[in-house]
Amino acid sequence: MDQSPDSISSAPSLRNLQILQVIALEARPMTPTEVNAVLGLPKPTIHRLVANLEQEGYLSRHLDGRSYLPGPKLREMMLGVMRAGHHHLPRREVLMRLNESVGETCNLSIPDGDAMIYVDRVETHWPLRIALKVGSRVPLHATSAGKAALTQMGAAEFERFLSKARLHAHTERTITDPAALRSEIAAIRTRGYSTDSEEFVPGMIAVAVPVLDRAGLFCATLSFHAPVQRLSLEDGLKHLPALRQAASELTGLT
């Protein structure tokens, strides 16, 4: 796509879309100046448009107070696109194969501000299951998917998260101490996978790994969860090779 200044339409609606496109493609918090390095709009224009997009809920201010990420309205649109991705059979087939291998509910989730949001899942066939539907938002600090996502933050960004996050105790096992969470995330970075041992829902365990795109950038987490009555965390970790293989296959689809 030609994004030179001469190619930029004067229509504000198109400029808004181009701003959202740049931020979505970069997949990181961006300041208006960084966005404008791509678009080449007049400085007052880029700041006015970004401010309007924030006010309308399409962009959200990042923790640093200067840069922006997709806001609630844009994330809702993204979720709709991901739901339509049920027609994306290759991705769905990866989840279905993982579900057949593990025998438990398998989930694909993406960061959603201070939480993770489930964008696709294949349910277990067992009648005893944990009811977390597509579209559910779950906390970063108390879930395997969330902790896997936290490992992908840079050091400064993670420290800002720790300084601002409310580490709510969902169960008696939830990590609520910032120092303990810092140590947990460091250990997860080393071993390459995260776990949830009844930290979010009593009686539920989960295991997750990050999913990277072909450029090596973080784009999602892949996980499975199960009731402890059926699968202990120790036995769940035996499915880690299948989980990692599925994540690798998803990378090949990006």
Instruction: For residue 110, report the phi and psi dihedrals to the nearest 5 degrees.
Output: -130, 155
Q: Which CATH number fits domain 5-69: 2.40.50.150, 3.30.1490.20, 3.40.50.620, 1.10.10.10?
A: 1.10.10.10
Buried b (16+ CB within 10 A) or exposed e, 89-126: eebeebbebbbebbbbbbbbbbbbeebbbbbbbbebee
pLDDT tens-place string over residues 134-179: 777 899 999 999 999 999 998 988 998 998 888 999 999 999 999 9
Domain range 74-253, CATH class: alpha beta
CA distance 145 to 196: 9
**Residues 5, 20 contacting (CB under 8 angstroms):** no
**Residues 15, 50 contacting (CB under 8 angstroms):** no
For the cut 60, the answer to whether the pLDDT of residue 36 exceeds it is yes
Average pLDDT over the chain reads 85
pLDDT band for 82, please (50, 70, 90 cuts).
Answer: low
Q: What percent of the chain has pLDDT over 90?
A: 45
Question: Of 113, 132, 37, nearest to 72 (Cα)?
Answer: 113
pTM exceeds 0.85 for this model = no
Triad 68, 69, 71: Cα angle to 5°: 110
Amino acid at 77: M
CA distance 1 to 70: 21
> So where are the chain's domains?
5-69, 74-253
